[in-house]
């Protein structure tokens, strides 16, 4: 099973990017996670889309289409989904009737130094996934709170309990995507 992972943060030392790298390490047998960097995706503009879809967007859409499932590492900004992530989702959802996200099994997780581990942003993204018809795995919810205590200086996920939860999430995603593919 091919899973496309992407994170909603562009910064080098991002906890959410680090969480994706941990997922790649913890993937169960039979699952391969490829990480896509959304940093090259321009701001959505329908005029640009009509004139010609930017190469980074074509690449993102194709990567989603060729994956069996997507895995989204969701940071939280001001109790919501960061603009760069929402923007990438908006591009992927177009054009209507040909959305790469339509029917694509998804799992969400996220990390933040705060106490709620991106719970609100994840809930918000689940709401967008209702519109895009992207079946998001309900459980387990992986909310990596106090992230600064769970990664080392090199960005390795060192917290054992969190590593176990990420492993459970990936196993559940494998089952979810297999069931939806039937
Ligand atoms: C934040 N941060 C934050 N954290 C949180 O738990 N809830 C929030 O609502 C916000 N709001 C917020 C707004 C803005 C504009 C910034 C820049 C940051 C803190 C945020 O979780 C923290 O910067 C993380 O480290 C961002 O994720 P990455 O970049 O580490 O993946």
| Distance from residue 76's CA to the centre of ligand 1 (Å) | 5
pLDDT for 11: 98
- CATH of span 2-181: 3.40.50.360
Per-residue pLDDT tens listing for the chain (182 residues):
999 999 999 999 999 999 999 999 999 999 999 999 999 999 999 999 999 999 999 999 999 999 999 999 999 999 999 999 999 999 999 999 999 999 999 999 999 999 999 999 999 999 999 999 999 999 999 999 999 999 999 999 999 999 999 999 999 999 999 999 99
DSSP β-ladder status, 142-144 and 106-111: parallel
CB neighbourhood size of 147 (10 A): 23
- Domain boundaries of the chain, sorted by first residue: 2-181
Rounded Cα gap, residues 178 and 174, in angstroms: 6
Sheet with 32-36, edge to edge strand ranges: 32-36, 2-7, 69-73, 106-111, 142-144
- Give me the helix-helix angle, 119-131 and 83-92, nearest 10°: 20
Q: What is the dihedral of CA 175, 2, 181, 167, to 10 degrees?
A: 10
pLDDT at 92: 98
DSSP 67: S
Max Cα–Cα distance, the chain, nearest Å: 49
67: tokens are 């994956």
- Looking at the CA of residue 112, tell me the nearest atom of ligand 1: 21
User: Is residue 71 within 8 Å of residue 106, measured between CB atoms?
Assistant: yes
* Cα–ligand 1 centroid distance for 74 (angstroms): 10
Residue 77 CB–ligand 1 contact under 6 Å: yes
């Amino acid at each position: 099973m091919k899973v496309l992972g992407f994170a909603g943060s562009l910064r080098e030392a991002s906890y959410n990017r680090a969480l994706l790298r941990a997922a790649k390490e913890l993937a169960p047998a039979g699952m391969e996670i490829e990480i896509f960097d959304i940093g090259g995706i321009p701001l959505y503009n329908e005029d640009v889309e009509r004139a010609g879809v930017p190469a980074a967007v074509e690449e993102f859409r194709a990567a989603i289409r060729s994956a069996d499932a997507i895995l989204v590492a969701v940071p939280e900004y001001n109790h919501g989904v960061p603009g760069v992530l929402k923007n990438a989702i908006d591009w992927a959802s177009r054009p209507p009737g040909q959305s790469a996200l339509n029917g694509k099994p998804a799992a969400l997780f996220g990390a933040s130094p705060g106490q709620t581990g991106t719970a609100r942003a994840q809930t918000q993204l689940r709401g967008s996934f209702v519109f895009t018809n992207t079946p998001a795995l309900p459980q387990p919810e992986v909310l990596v709170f106090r992230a600064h205590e769970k990664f080392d200086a090199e960005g390795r996920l060192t917290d054992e309990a969190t590593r176990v939860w990420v492993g459970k999430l990936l196993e559940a995603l494998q089952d979810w995507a297999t069931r939806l593919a039937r």
